[in-house]
Chains A and B, each alone.
Chain A
């Protein structure tokens, strides 16, 4: 690539949204990310495409942004969005005044809600407590953060955008108060990439990146912990109708359900630790909505940091704004440097549009934003699905088509057709064929098993990698099978450790014993 005009630092949803937006407007753009894509907040959250209902009382402009973006993403991101719809339920113990404020808030924010009877609510979601006193349907949906990110990349690439993963920005260089480039470090060493504009979209790491340019941006990492259950406990997003708090949202996500979130200020975004205390707290609150919750199997816990923007003296935690801010640092004497901070996943496209507008203005580029009208990737048509149905495992076709997008889907289908042995299931829990694994593994950006896991979902189901890790490690071939196994299992263990109760404990011990006795890999380290 010739030198880019713009370098984006940070491969989360915001950065990738900007990459797509600028590329579509014809701006030469490169994105650098220190790890794999979306290793920060964009995938470490509950995967809820907000209707805005959650913000309808506290912040109606955020609510309005949510519902607008929600409608847009349903159109442009069909294969990332599962249109589950959502339900808000108020329990006996919740403040009834909040309900009326919420109804008004939804109305004035343009969120269509539909009151349903308690009986109807329980018929739709029989697992919920019978202590519901009122229930509403809202246009919430589930969205897959991993998938969206990859599809944004695919889209940006079609318009000339580029990304470099595992490439860390280590310096921001300027000359006479003007940006001249970014110094990066990756496996091949350290070098400078010249550019005119730098966009700091590093999420929780925004402050650190700003520091490299001698700037000060207040970002408060706010850690949210989430739990993953082994099955679809609910078929739609279920929110508690009360002043937002911990553990009051259940999101069905493919074959699992995610319960979140807690909110805790932490000193560093690297802190994605989860503790038993956090798990128990979430379980306790979640059990108010689903009384039998402790009977259902947990798969893992995970945490991510929301990068809350904190202007000097601003609030922190849940009270802090979930809005976003764009800073043009030319005011502070660094021309060509922009920062975007705060916001939420649901509104990533809008954030990208706003900052791209400013950047384009500066570049004298008058092309309008097209991200809201063009689908992110071409969908796999139902006709081409039908043609290859017989090569896919049952109940596996749609999932694969949505994960893969048109081009890769065709590749995988061709492989399945021509190489019958590639129809073997590599991951039996999530129905991932060997063909799909191999197609993704062969891509340049797949540097380790975790990269492939995030894109295919192998190892993310019931057994958490017990039976697919060694298969994957043997097929992968880019690294030593033992190293790959160890890395993958360590990552799996991180999320399993806080939920070592009941069946997940049995699963964990089985996994540990298999790998210790066969490969001498002690994946778990100390269990407790």
Chain B
């Protein structure tokens, strides 16, 4: 559970140069110019004193965190890389592109202020106009931008009627579910309600900060960390857990912020992945048969949480449902990484193994917890994957 993963991973002094992280890095496999995890922070971080210099490798790390899992010594390679990226931007200017990619939370808000903004935002080129996105500033035109939902989750939430209950959770939707995929949030409410749990939301939660961290906006991300951690602690004091359905959000809130900022206050053991939480309760097993075969792509950021595959455990309770693991590495999108024009091809190359696996599979559905993974899969295979909560919600019989 959470406690196992809380606590700070280790610094460069713990690197024994074993190279395990290099073999695990998906970007390294796809991009020959990339020097790889061990060489960015652990090795060459020691040499920065020698000259003012820049290595493009610092741009190439997608913050997928595969390296951290591989490291036998618990070195927080990806976070050390992100720290260095942040350090770089202390003395260098961000591009317009990076600013936009980092601030998806405010982009969402902006779109909501325009009448029929979501519609405009979904007409391809209009998105560019509203958010200032174009190939010219370095955002690829080869992939569609995330589609904005007609109403965001927080708006929909207000119209949902739930039974009051003593057992409550706070749902942390994160930017993607809130703006682009509110159905996942609705599914979560159905699942929780079916288990006698009332779902609350907290309007004061902000973006987890992942897009800011991976683009080197450390100060802003720290402000979010302060805010969100205080909210989480507040709910903890009321004995109400915070549950996320996006594995990046939950990873960031659990441990990443604490590692990046070296601040224990940001290590939150009151945050749970939705299925991790469901494993802790006495699950309602009144589930309808779902005679389907499901191909499951496990997101990198779930693997990195070291909690196993709770979605598979829970979904295997559904009669007649079969789950197969795609086991095909990283999808390659990694948040905003694959939106960068110069990295689009790398992103697609990384995803190739997963695409091929899906294209050659005759499974009825593809599923993955992570929003960006689902977008990448759709882009690479034309199949529309589901979130496991949607499958579970479908199995609960209407009562």
Residues of chain A touching chain B, judged by Cβ–Cβ distance below 8 Å, are 230-232, 235, 252, 254-255, 295-297, 394-399, 425, 428-431, 461-463, 466-467, 503, 506-507, 510
Contact = CB atoms under 8 A, between A and B. Distances in A.
B116 interface: no
Contact of B47 (A395, A463, A503): A395
8 contacts: A235-B49, A252-B49, A394-B55, A399-B47, A399-B50, A462-B15, A507-B16, A510-B16
Nearest to A467: B17
Contacts of A461: 43, 46
Contacts of A394: 44, 53-55, 57
B42 interface: yes
Given A467-B19, A506-B16, A431 B47 contact: yes
Q: Which of A297, A395, A463, A503 has the most CB of B within 10 A?
A: A395
Given A428-B38, A428-B43, A462 B51 contact: no
B73 interface: yes
Contact of A395 (B15, B17, B48): B48
B44 A503 contact: no
A251 to B, nearest CB: 13
B60 to A, nearest CB: 12
Contacts of A506: 16, 73
Nearest to B14: A503
A503 B13 contact: yes
Contacts, number: 76
Nearest to B17: A463
Contact of A428 (B39, B50, B53, B55): B39
B240 interface: no
Contacts of B49: 232, 235, 252, 255
Interface string B12-42: 1111111100000000000000000011001
* Interface residues of B, dominant DSSP: helix
A254 B55 CA distance: 19
A510 B50 contact: no
> Size band of the B side of the interface?
20 to 34
Contacts of A431: 43-44, 47
A143 to B, nearest CB: 16
Interface of B: 12-19, 38-39, 42-44, 46-51, 53-55, 57, 73
Contacts of B19: 467
B25 to A, nearest CB: 15
Contacts of A232: 46, 49
A395 B88 CA distance: 14
Nearest to B22: A428
A463 B17 CA distance: 6
Nearest to A510: B16
A310 B55 CA distance: 53
B188 to A, nearest CB: 42
Contacts of A295: 13
A295 B39 CA distance: 22
B126 to A, nearest CB: 40
A230 B55 contact: no
A430 B19 CA distance: 15
B39 A466 contact: no
Given A394-B44, A462-B43, A506-B73, A429 B17 contact: yes
Contacts of B46: 230-232, 255, 429, 461-462
Nearest to B51: A398
A162 B14 CA distance: 45
A429 B18 CA distance: 12
B349 to A, nearest CB: 22
Contacts of A255: 46-47, 49
Contacts of A462: 12, 15-17, 42-43, 46
Nearest to A232: B49
A431 B39 CA distance: 9
Nearest to A231: B46
A358 to B, nearest CB: 41
Nearest to A429: B43
A441 to B, nearest CB: 22
Given A395-B47, A397-B53, 16 more contacts: A230-B46, A231-B46, A232-B46, A395-B55, A396-B50, A397-B51, A428-B17, A429-B43, A430-B47, A431-B43, A461-B43, A462-B15, A463-B16, A463-B17, A503-B13, A507-B17
Nearest to B58: A394
B245 to A, nearest CB: 38
A398 B50 contact: yes
Contacts of A297: 13-14
A236 B225 CA distance: 34
A510 B19 CA distance: 12
B155 to A, nearest CB: 47
B44 A395 contact: yes
A326 to B, nearest CB: 39
Q: Which 3 residue pairs are nearest across A and B when measured between Cβ atoms?
A: A394-B55, A463-B17, A297-B13
Nearest to B19: A467
Contacts of B53: 394-395, 397
A235 B51 CA distance: 14
Contacts of A296: 13
